[in-house]
Amino acid sequence: MTTRRLIGTNQQFTIGKIICLARNYAEHARELGNETPAAPVLFMKPASSVIGDGDTVQIPAYSQECHYEIELAVLIGTQARSISAGEALEHVAGYGVAIDMTLRDVQNQLKAKGLPWEIAKGFDTGCPLSDFVPFSAVADPHALNLKLAVSGEIRQNGTTADMINRIPQIIAHISAIFTLEPGDVILTGTPAGVGPVRAGEVMTAEIATIGCLTIPVA
Ligand code: ZN
């Protein structure tokens, strides 16, 4: 079981399903040559893909091109099924930092064949995830700077203000398809600047006021 703390409380959550949005920042959709979707594009990672601060991403042998994607992670605190956007934030326990590791070469091959992405996204070590800052301590989750550096060089520098689908709409949309349970996590998409990371490099992912991950790559 993988657990995460709600910082400053004695609450601990067992991580459940991890639901991720693709193409939720227009600039990033463009950089990969994708259209900006009308409805959120969803995929999942298993809890077994989660690693913590200081742990190492192991690039699987079947990929030659592993990309980083820094994302704001939303931790669900209470069960949510078919809820409205207006009710959505009542179900959020906190916010954290995630890196949606993506085997871009594998994903591109799968996309071209119309096949699912799981092996490009859900592999072991493919989801570095921080502990969570309580909901009440975050004034505005849509005004956070996200910054990812590889071996000290900044590659992504964006803001959650640029999300296409906002957190209440995302939760409402997902909850009509998948019942959200305490410990489930939503990864809200990545800003522009994604790119490859290689064995021997170190990623640092920081979301202002939320947290920071330092993740070596092997
Ligand atoms: Zn992503």
- Whether the per-residue pLDDT at 36 is higher than 80: the answer is no
Cα 24 to averaged position of ligand 1 atoms, centre (Å): 9
Q: Sorting pLDDT into bands at 50, 70 and 90, what band is 34? A: confident
Mean pLDDT of the chain: 96
Cα 49 to averaged position of ligand 1 atoms, centre (Å): 14
What residues contact residue 112 under an 8 Å CB cut-off, 6+ apart? Answer: none
What residues contact residue 192 under an 8 Å CB cut-off, 6+ apart? Answer: 25, 27, 28, 30, 31, 156, 158
Cα 43 to averaged position of ligand 1 atoms, centre (Å): 9
Q: Sorting pLDDT into bands at 50, 70 and 90, what band is 28? A: confident
Residues of the chain with pLDDT > 90, as a percent, come to: 92
All structural domains of the chain with their residue ranges? 3-216
Cα 166 to averaged position of ligand 1 atoms, centre (Å): 15
Cα 40 to averaged position of ligand 1 atoms, centre (Å): 12
pTM of the model: 0.97
Mean pLDDT across 148-159: 97
Output DSSP code: residue 106.
H
Cα 84 to averaged position of ligand 1 atoms, centre (Å): 24
- Whether the per-residue pLDDT at 200 is higher than 90: the answer is yes
Cα 77 to averaged position of ligand 1 atoms, centre (Å): 22
Q: Sorting pLDDT into bands at 50, 70 and 90, what band is 27? A: confident
The whole-angstrom separation of Cα 163 and Cα 28 is: 10
Cα 205 to averaged position of ligand 1 atoms, centre (Å): 14
Burial 107-137 (b: 16+ CB within 10 A, else e): beebeeeeeebebbbbbebbbbbbbbbbbee
CATH number, domain 3-216: 3.90.850.10
- The predicted-structure confidence for 108-125, as pLDDT tens digits, reads as follows 999 999 999 999 999 999
The whole-angstrom separation of Cα 215 and Cα 200 is: 11
The whole-angstrom separation of Cα 153 and Cα 109 is: 29
Q: Within a 13 Å sphere around the CA of 34, how many CA atoms are in the beta-carbon half?
A: 17
- Whether the per-residue pLDDT at 31 is higher than 80: the answer is yes
The whole-angstrom separation of Cα 99 and Cα 102 is: 9
Cα 190 to averaged position of ligand 1 atoms, centre (Å): 5
Lowest average pLDDT, out of 26-30, 89-93, 135-139, goes to 26-30
Output DSSP code: residue 80.
B
Cα 108 to averaged position of ligand 1 atoms, centre (Å): 14
